[in-house]
Amino acid sequence: MSRLQGKTVVITGASGGLGMEMAKQAAAEGARLILLARRLDRLEEVKEMLHRTFAAEVHIFAVDISQKEAVEEVFSKIYEEVSRIDILVNNAGFGIFKEAREAKWEETQAMFNVNVLGLILCTQMVIPHMQARRSGHIINIASQAGKLATPKSSVYAATKHAVLGYTNSLRMEMARAGVYVTAVNPGPIATDFFAVADPSGSYAKNVARWMLKPEQVAKEVVKAMGTNKREINLPRWMNAGSIIYMLFPRLVERVGRQAFFKK
């Protein structure tokens, strides 16, 4: 029997890309899925596909995770329907790549509201229940940008630095109750993320050879579900760059400046 058989997995941002791929792979392992996203029509398509392919039990809820009252209402409904959440995957997020002087305040607020505050809000919805049961797993999708910031991603990188800070503190707090907390730090993934982040398409074109496949990232996340995995860093060579940056920041900024500006 699969480790995820009968486990309830909540995934935010599940209507496409990495979120949908994680849902597919978790469904293949027998998980019960709770999928959250803003677009109900896309969620319905994903639900139908998962039911048809895996005969999976899937519950869907349309919600904007930046809206506190809406999130509280949705999680209340979730607990009415399934009584417990075993794994929460905070996947919802987006980026807009612009130099700091060009960043619009509305875009800055929106990124923090979704990437940081929405993630924290969803996490707060499960913390008391997991602590009371003394079991559970919270998985936060951060980014290599949270370890190594580059030009044209100042605000996005700031949100992911915040996610990593929150995740690292949360991990120590939740360990006392036997609840696992994992940070996932992928490099660029071949999804629709870049349609919003860089509508010109130049960044995706420049890093195409290094793009991760969502299936690859999802495989590592699903494999870690229910285990005490501290971090998932992909690709490994990019994470090595982040480590070198922590040791020799001035050198990396000087040597890598030209490449970093290719966004």
Q: Residue 180 — pLDDT band, cuts 50, 70, 90?
A: very high
Only one residue has tokens 């949908």, namely 20
| Residue 2 in domain | no
| Residue 208 in domain | yes
Identify the residue with better confidence: 81 or 194: 81
| Residue 196 in domain | yes
* pLDDT value at 195 more than 70: yes
Quote the pLDDT of residue 262. 59
Which tokens go with 165?
């800070």
Which tokens go with 155?
């605000």
| Residue 223 in domain | yes
CATH of the domain at 19: 3.40.50.720
Quote the pLDDT of residue 263. 58
| Residue 169 in domain | yes
Q: Name the residue range of residue 104's domain.
A: 8-260
Identify the residue with better confidence: 3 or 72: 72
Determine which of 28-37, 61-70, 136-145, 146-155 has the lowest per-residue pLDDT on average.
146-155
Q: Model pTM?
A: 0.91
Residue 262's CB is within 10 A of a number of other CB atoms, namely 13
| Residue 226 in domain | yes
Annotated catalytic residue, options 156, 166, 180, 245: 156
| Residue 3 in domain | no
* pLDDT tens, position by position, 105-161: 999 999 999 999 999 999 999 999 999 999 999 999 999 999 988 888 999 999 999
Q: How many domains does the chain have?
A: 1
Alpha helices in the chain (DSSP H): 17-28, 40-54, 68-82, 105-111, 119-133, 154-175, 193-197, 202-206, 214-224, 236-247, 249-260
Residue 156 catalytic?
A: yes
Quote the pLDDT of residue 238. 73
User: What are the backbone angles phi and psi of residue 35, rounded to the nearest 5°?
Assistant: -110, 130
Q: Residue 217 — pLDDT band, cuts 50, 70, 90?
A: very high
* pLDDT value at 38 more than 80: yes
Rounded mean pLDDT, 1-13: 92
65: helix, strand or coil:
coil
| Residue 33 in domain | yes
Mean pLDDT of the chain: 91
